[in-house]
Amino acid sequence: MPDSRVPRRRRYLVCEPRHFAVQYAINPWMHPDEPVDVIRALDQWQALVDAYRVHGHTVDSVKPVPGLPDMVFAANAAVVVDGRVFGSLFHAPERRPESVPYEAWFKSEGYDVYHPESVCEGEGDLVPAGRWILAGTGFRTTREAHSEVQEYLGMPVISLTLVDPYFYHLDTALFVLDEGHDGNIAYYPEAFSPGSREVLARLYPDAVLATREDAMAFGLNSVSDGRHVFISPGATALAGQLADRGYVPVPVDLSEFHKAGGGIKCCTQEIREIRS
């Protein structure tokens, strides 16, 4: 079984947490009175970048901007599919300026960037899953944005309603294991409305189901290349399930970023080029 999983090389975009801090509270994880260890955060972030490169992936970086403490969460800046960049319009006013340096980076790389008219937070709520895009709503990204995404990217969008504020973005409650025609996911069912749980069960009858304990350990804020799963070391039961399915868990500790409600996937934007 383990040898049947084939990794695909990815291109990731990240942002160094030089200015990372918890200066406001826009989700239940954030407590401005609890200090952040920036040196530890830098070390953890570098370990993630090193892990990606060791496993054959390309990593690009956006220069951090002073005064934007959440800019490290690169996934929220856009969703990129087939070389098309759908930008972000953040829900929180504190984060809206982050869109500017990310747009500048994409333009410097030769991309056009679509500006959404509705609130939309990139890969935080828009998860490409092969033939369609799984799209979260309920706390940040709006359903109107789902329609914009479908029109711009020309891909079916499956709207899913999040109901637990600890899982305010889709990428805290679900991640894609494989993007192929018969792709699969891992998710925490109780993060979703009853109807959305039924949709996921129909689409992914063989999905890996996580416990609340593993979800709260940011186990679902993971990144998979089809074989290796870069995962929080606290999500032990989930890592065991993945290993049983033939995946190779790669534990990376980003616990300092949990103080802001983020983890591995939050720090990782995937740039999906046009596939031949």
Out of 57, 91, 120, 266, the active site residue is 266
CA 242 → CA 189, 203, 245, distances in Å? 17, 19, 5
Cβ count within 10 A of residue 267: 27
Amino acid (one-letter) located at 275 = R
3-state secondary structure of 260: coil
Out of 57, 91, 146, 169, the active site residue is 169
Interatomic CA distance for residues 114 and 227, integer angstroms = 32
Please count the CA atoms within 13 angstroms of the CA of 144 that sit on its side-chain side: 5
DSSP string over 88-140:
-B-SSGGGGGGHHHHHHHHHHTT--EE--SS-B-GGGTEEEETTEEEEEESSS
Residue 15 a catalytic site member: no
- Tracing tokens 């969008």 back to the chain, one arrives at 157
- Tracing tokens 């990129």 back to the chain, one arrives at 80
Structure tokens that stand for 94 in this block: 């504190």
Interatomic CA distance for residues 116 and 58, integer angstroms = 28
Q: Which residues share a beta bridge with 161? A: 137
- Of 89, 97, 92, 108, nearest to 13 by C-alpha is 108
Residue 169 a catalytic site member: yes
Task: Tell me the catalytic residues.
Answer: 169, 266
